[in-house]
Structure 1
Amino acid sequence: MSETALNLVQKQEWENGILRGSVVERRAAGLTRTVVWNPFRLVTGIASVEFRITLLDGDRAVAQDTISVSLDNSDVVILHDWSRVMQKQLVSENPRPGSAVWWLRTGQAGDYVPTEGASLEVKEKGIELPHLTYPLDLKGYYAIFVVLPAKLGCIELRLSGDERSQLFSGESVGNGCYLEINSLPAFVKAGHESFWRWADMTRQHLVIEQPYKTVSLYEESFRAHLDSVRLVPLTPELVAQLNATWSAEGQKRTVIGYYEPGSWAFQEKVESNLDHWKPLLAFAEARFSVLDINLGRGGSVLNYESRVDSQLLGAVHGDPSHGKVPHSSAAALMQEYTNTFATELKYARQLGMKPAANFGATSCYVGSDLESNFSKEHPEWRSGDELRYDVPEVRRFMLALFEEALQIGAERLSLDWCRYPETLKSKGPVTEFMRELRRLADRYGNLRSVHIDILARFPARGVPSWQYMDYRTWAREQLVDFLCPSNIQGRHLNFDLSEYLAATKGTKTRLLPNVTAHIWGLSMPGMFWERVLRCYEEGCEGAYVYQADCPTLGSPEGIRYLSLCCSEAALKRWRAREQAEQGKYSKNIYLSLPPRGGQYQPWSRLRVWIEGFSPGLVELFVDDKKINRYTAPPYVLTSEERSDDKAIQPGKRILTVRAEDGGGWLEKEFKVYFGSSN
């Protein structure tokens, strides 16, 4: 199976294969199949095992064979006895209440038991724990794999020579969002190994850190934990192969990554300007050429050292999680102790990225702890939760924010009309503000003898308020340098590019369509990479990745997936490999992950991934009613249009997917839950 399928496999199939050693092959008569068995977590050192395969047709045994396998894993290093850390006084099988000591939890049993029944955990919520160091004395390159207990929680790890730690979560792979645990898959994969990295382990120790967000945020059971770490020695040939697989060769495309420091700081302990280096280093590893740094939204408290409007100070609320609204003062610490934007400008440039000052057009969060002084003082200048751009004073206020960013040192400006566009009623005020912003940028550009780039992310056709975006005028009058048509939430993820290509043809404006990296976006890596590659092949110069911070700061896999987006050659290499491997993959049908609470919501769409063969027709049924019929991907239940938000009634439904395979059909049934939230 592909890495995409591995990320999408559902609970029953995963547990049948990993816990019970049972795999289903569909329409495989006459085909050669390869069974992959990973014994490294079960067998250490030198051993001999009996490996038996039974081929069943229903309950009838068709064939059976047993082979003896000799294993020599003596050069594989498995870390699971966490009592061996340097700081032995900080680990106990029975920590005292209130003590800052890690819990060595032993004697566990059951289907989801960690390695040898033991794991490193946190016994009591609300207590910050010190870092631990596992001593190592290895030489040369190793591949590093990480296993977490099969339950809610996470851990941060780094090597002693690293400048940042890496978050690991059993629930977060690829699109999984580090920002909100309610946007994670509906189950945690027992026994899943996360491939962290390959690294020269000479003079390196392993450092274990408690993620700050697990101290007090979210559920009582959301805590730091670790099962085991496996290190496998690599030959120079394997190192070269890994380097080649993940290289971004050829012409480098412009890939812009969106980053919200305020959301990152909501769950971190930011007490020094040096703390900003760590997340920006991850963005550099993901090979973003431009970092779009969000400083706030018009009418809300700001996430930088502003004197134009109110900063984010004090506790604020986050997005609801499992029915509860989290509150945190951590983001306020970032404002109290650091100059966020000036620091991130400096670090981004040092890391080879071009930083941009991003403001969302508006969202006032009226009546909440996120509403700014400007919104509170001028309710007549807003409509509901949004500022009114037909009011000159509102436009002057927003220009003052952008000018403040220029004064701090910005050389690129970014305006996001997508979050939230509901207040717009005509094209005029939008285009007039773009002209005013261009004049402001040119004034500062002339003073510095540079050109100040302007980026505009705006609703693509069919997305709310798309009709008020006069992007043709923006391009023709050179008001913007980067045109980024975009979806909102989980709809319109494959919008047509032709009208935007036509609008930018013959102009200096470059087209970088948005490819959303959030959990409700296209599944990684396959669906996501295919969309990026299609953008390049149709003539776009690059791509904009909204919520790039989700995969970049959420998992090592996410960083690797994003790191290839700047290379059309690398993406074509991936596609060619996928096409060549189809005959080796098991024939199967997979669904995109539900974006919240195990349910598909009206603001997102269920998508189908098929591999192991090239289907002719593909049909989708809900409760035996045919909904869709496709001759080519992408395969989307209902459509991308908002008019289909409520086409499927909430509750449990039976989804049947039929894919034409030669002279027959591969059919698979799923129990699917649809939510009702707006």
Structure 2
Amino acid sequence: MISIKQMINDGFVEIRISQNLKPIYGAKISYSLDGNVWNPCSIFSYIDADKMLRCSFWEWNEAVIYGNVKFNGSGHPVYWNLYLNNLHKYTGDIKICIKVLTDEGITEYKTDVELLPCKTLYISDWNQYVLEKGWKIESGYLMFNGDEEVKALTIKPGISGRYKIYFGILYGIIHMRVSVSNEKIRYPFIAERNRPEFQDKYHKEILWKSVELDKNSAIEISPTPLSIREPEKWPFGSIHYIKIVPDEKKKENTGYVNPKWSDKTLALYFEPYSWAFLYNLEKKYEVKETMKLFREMGANEIHTQVIRFGSKALHYSRIAERHSKGAMMGDDGTFSPGPASMVRSLDILRETIDACSELGMVHYANSGLTNCYPGTDLEEKISRQHPEWRTGNILRYNVQETRQYAASIIGEFIEWGTHGVSIDCMRYPYYHTEEDLISLFMEIHNVINKMSGKRKIPLTVRIPAGDIVYYKVFETLAKQGIIQCVIPSNLLSRSPIFSLRPYIGWKDYGCRVFGIIDGWLTHLGSFSNSQISLYRYPSDIKYDIRRFFNEGADGIFVYQADGYCADPFTRTVLDWKNWK
């Protein structure tokens, strides 16, 4: 049995195939205007982002190019993209033929469907808009030509109301910034190669967000600074069309929230070094813009990492040297002037504190426990002058001088006005003994007490999950009221899956316990100076948040939140208050 329904707002026709509960293994879907000439329907096997990301490129391309749909015994709705067959404005009857493969063979269905013009607006005539330097049109697709003086492309749809904005990508990736003039916030929008087979899927539609438009509103598109600097390695990609869909849902949050989760905290880790490396971060409005993006993601807390003890500082430290010149190779094997330029231009710690205060978020000044980056432009003088105080890249805390050095920098955080302090022991936890860690954190605790005056400055720590040394040390510190929050974590990826149960008892000491959403799904390896890791799927994130909350977590800490902000598939997933 076949059920067909036009989704007039979305530009789709939903097709459901039912074989009376019999297994379905495949289908061929085609259409005809006259009953004689038949053409394949451009079928989206899924419109759910998670399912689209997880399916193979062969499964996706077979459906969207040839109308061949793969089912593994279980049927599910599929979606005919009328625009790709140039039928989005069609009025009248159209013939559809569906051939279904079951264990009994092939069954053919033919039916007529009445189509009406879609309410969706498509923008694809780029010749109307490519008036600015730096852009080109190839085979009807919008592309960046590599010009360093490129200007943002401005597109005025000329419509009013609330709309969902999608970008149609013929093939490959997209690496850009996008904004709408009403909001004046630029969103990094990066859908790239960090998910298996994503690049090789044709005719993808990627949701940006819902926006309010008026007759004068403009959508603005530009390549990221990284794409301008490294167009071969990080290409802008190409845009087939912009799809603008009426959003009839109310702007207010209509999602279901478990009442037990309503007071949970979403803490986002902000790494200015990485943000400046990718997008530049040299002006106050850019800092505030970034914090607004994080606030929109649902953040209550922002943890801004401005140093890893033993490396140069990003804030205007009087104790550590500042990283105001030079450059270090990034995980992608390239160099960026962005971090040093940021440090010369502004004090990122002061600016993020001010922006968070204005936006109603709690700010934590964050330091990595240690990474000296020996032999690079990031190595700080304590490491250069006293190599005997470190093991490899690890600054050791078995001497009073290194403990006082670290504690003095924490004192600067409090002097600058941060609301809280956090220390990331995952960068890096090696070689430290129980005695060294206790001594270091007692030194830090004493500085916090001395510098905070009447203010209460909470201390959060991120520690290796399941580690005996770190468990013993920080359980002791939790009992003494020295730490106020703990985040058990892996080094960088989701695996191994671990439980918070050993740490939940620390809540009895007044120590909050957070679950972790780490930066990556898994790490593939290092290749020619590049680190390659895979991004997480939306369903992974939801699963882990539910799991941690069910175990008793007080909140969720998102490491490398910069990446989640830029990823259109995960930017809105972290805020459980918006889940449906």
Give me the TM-score of the superposition, normalised by structure 1.
0.72
Moved segments of 4+, more than 4 Å: 246-250, 465-469
Counterparts of 2:556 and 2:234, CA distance in 1? 38
Instruction: State the 1:55 CA deviation.
Output: 0.9
**1:457 Cα offset (Å):** 0.4
Q: Which letter maps to 1:422? A: Y
Change (3 A) 1:24 1:211: same
Corresponding position of 1:650: none
**Aligned mates of 2:242, 2:561 — CA distance in 1:** 27
1-structure distance, mates of 2:253, 2:110:
37
Q: Shift in Å at residue 64 of structure 1?
A: 1.1
Percent identity, please: 22
The CA deviation at 1:312 is 1.6
Q: How far apart are the structure 2 equivalents of 1:312 and 1:221?
A: 25
Tell me the equivalent position of 1:509: 511
The alignment status of 1:430 with 2:437, answered yes or no, reads: yes
Deviation at 1:259, TM superposition (A): 1.0
**Equivalence for 2:203:** 191
Equivalent residue letter for 1:56? L
Distance in 2 between the 1:382 and 1:357 partners?
24
Residue 201 (str. 1) matches residue 208 (str. 2): no
Is contact 2:283-2:345 (8 Å) kept?
Answer: yes
User: Could you say if the C-alpha distance between residues 519 and 54 of structure 1 is closer, same or farther in structure 2, counting changes exceeding 3 Å?
Assistant: same
Task: Work out the CA distance in 1 between the residues paired with 2:469 and 2:90.
Answer: 64
CA distance in 1: counterparts of 2:325 and 2:96, whole angstroms: 60
Residue by residue over 1:576-610, the C-alpha shift from the partner in whole angstroms, topping out at 9 and shown as x without a partner, is xxxxxxxxxxxxxxxxxxxxxxxxxxxxxxxxxxx
- Tell whether 2:296 aligns with 1:301: no
1:244 aligns with 2:254: yes
Give CA deviations for 1:205-227 in whole Å, capped at 9, x if unaligned: 11122211101137356235322
Matches within 5 A, 1:548-627: 548-552=561-565, 554-564=566-576, 567=577
The one-letter code of the counterpart of 2:205 is E
In the alignment, the residues of structure 2 paired with residue 411 and residue 6 of structure 1 have an alpha-carbon distance, to the nearest angstrom, of 41
> Which of 381, 389, 397 is the matching residue for 1:389?
397
Q: How does 1:211-610 map to 2 (within 5 A)?
A: 211-217=224-230, 219-220=232-233, 222-223=235-236, 225-235=238-248, 238-239=249-250, 243-245=253-255, 251-321=262-332, 325-424=333-432, 426-445=433-452, 447=453, 449-461=454-466, 466-467=469-470, 470-490=473-493, 492-502=495-505, 504-520=506-522, 523-552=536-565, 554-564=566-576, 567=577
For 1:560 and 1:493, how far apart are their aligned partners in 2? 25
Alignment partner, residue 34 of structure 1 = 77
Q: Which residue identity does 1:154 align to in structure 2?
A: H
Q: Give the aligned residue type for 1:199.
A: V
Moved more, 512-521 or 336-345: 512-521
Mapped to 2, the partners of 1:218 and 1:420 lie a distance apart of 33
Matched to 1:528, the amino acid is: I
Query: In the alignment, which residue of structure 2 is the partner of 1:646?
Result: none
Equivalents in 1 of 2:91, 2:61: separation in Å?
Answer: 25
Measure how far apart 1:123 and its partner are: 2.3
Asked if structure 2 preserves the Cα contact closer than 8 Å seen for 1:121 and 1:225, the reply is yes
CA distance 1:279–1:185, shift in 2 (3 Å): farther
Q: 2:100 aligns with which of 55, 74, 85?
A: 55
Q: CA deviation at 1:137?
A: 1.7
- The equivalent residue for 2:30 is none
Instruction: Indicate the residue corresponding to 2:37 in structure 1.
Output: none
* 2:374 match: secondary structure: coil
Identify the structure with the greater strand proportion: 2
Contact map agreement 1:272 1:337 (CA 8 A) in 2: yes
The 2-side partners of 1:245 and 1:51 are apart by 37
Q: How many angstroms apart in 2 are the aligned matches of 1:186 and 1:318?
A: 27
Question: CA separation in 1, counterparts of 2:391 and 2:331?
Answer: 24
Q: Is 1:17 matched up with 2:20?
A: no
Aligned to 1:637: none
Distance 1:6-1:505 versus aligned 2 partners, 3 A rule: same
Q: What is the alpha-carbon distance in structure 1 between the residues aligned to residue 472 and residue 514 of structure 2?
A: 16
Distance change >3 Å, CA 215–CA 246, structure 1 → 2:
farther
The structure whose RCO (Cα within 8 Å, separation 6+) is larger is: 1
* Distance in 2 between residues matched to 1:467 and 1:478, nearest whole Å: 16
Aligned-pair CA distance for 1:497: 1.7
Q: Does 1:79 align with 2:123?
A: yes
CA distance in 2, matches of 1:220, 1:559: 24
Cα distance in 2 between the residues matched to 1:186 and 1:317:
30
**8 Å CA contact retained: 2:420, 2:457:** yes
Aligned to 2:153: 132
Structure 2: distance between partners of 1:509 and 1:218:
47
Quick check: 1:294–1:358 contact (8 Å CA) kept in 2?
yes
Check the 8 A contact 2:302/2:364 in 1, yes or no.
Answer: yes
**Partner secondary structure for residue 569 of structure 2:** helix
TM-score, with normalisation over the residues of structure 2?
0.84
Distance in 2, matches of 1:512 and 1:366, equals: 32
Which amino acid counterpart does residue 159 of structure 1 have in structure 2? V
**Local SS of the residue matching 1:300:** coil
What is the CA distance between 1:315 and its match in structure 2?
A: 3.6
Of 176, 183, 190, the residue aligned with 1:155 is 176
Structure 1 pair 379/293, CA: closer, same or farther in 2 (3 Å)? same
Alpha-carbon distance, 1:192 to partner: 1.2
Structure 1 gap segments, 5+ residues each: 91-99, 107-117, 172-180, 575-678
CA contact (8 A) 1:515 1:543 kept: yes
- Matching residue of 1:641: none
Q: 1:397 is aligned with what amino acid?
A: Y
Partners of 1:263 and 1:133 lie apart in 2 by 28
1:120/1:225 contact within 8 Å kept: yes
Equivalent residue number for residue 188 of structure 2: 167
Asked if the contact 1:518–1:548 (Cα under 8 Å) also holds between the matched residues in 2, the reply is no
Output the CA distance in 2 between the equivalents of 1:247 and 1:229.
Answer: 32
Structure 1 contact 155–225 (Cα < 8 Å) conserved: no
Asked if the contact 1:149/1:170 (under 8 Å) is kept, the reply is no
- Say how many residue pairs are matched: 518
**Within 1, Cα distance between the matches of 2:72 and 2:137?**
43
Asked if the contact 1:365/1:371 (under 8 Å) is kept, the reply is yes
Per-residue CA deviations over 1:120-179 (Å, capped at 9, x if unaligned) read 11223x5230112112221212221112341244222211112212233342xxxxxxxx
Which secondary structure does the structure 1 equivalent of 2:304 belong to? strand
Amino acid at match of 2:447: L
C-alpha displacement of 1:477 = 0.4
Match of residue 105 from structure 1: 138
Aligned equivalents of 2:228, 2:239: Cα separation in 1: 15
How much does 1:467 deviate?
A: 4.9
SS of the aligned residue for 1:45 comes to coil
Map Cα deviations across residues 248-268 of structure 1 (whole Å, 9 max, x no partner).
976230121111011100122
1:492 deviates by: 4.2
Q: Partner amino acid for 1:105?
A: E
Moved more, 396-405 or 306-315: 306-315
> Using a 3 Å threshold, how does the CA distance of structure 1 residues 336 and 73 change in structure 2: closer, same or farther?
farther
**In 2 relative to 1, CA 519–303 (structure 1 residues): closer, same or farther, beyond 3 Å?**
farther
Whole-Å Cα distance in 2 between the matches of residues 170 and 318 of structure 1?
23
CA 469–10 in structure 1, closer or farther in 2 if over 3 Å, else same: farther
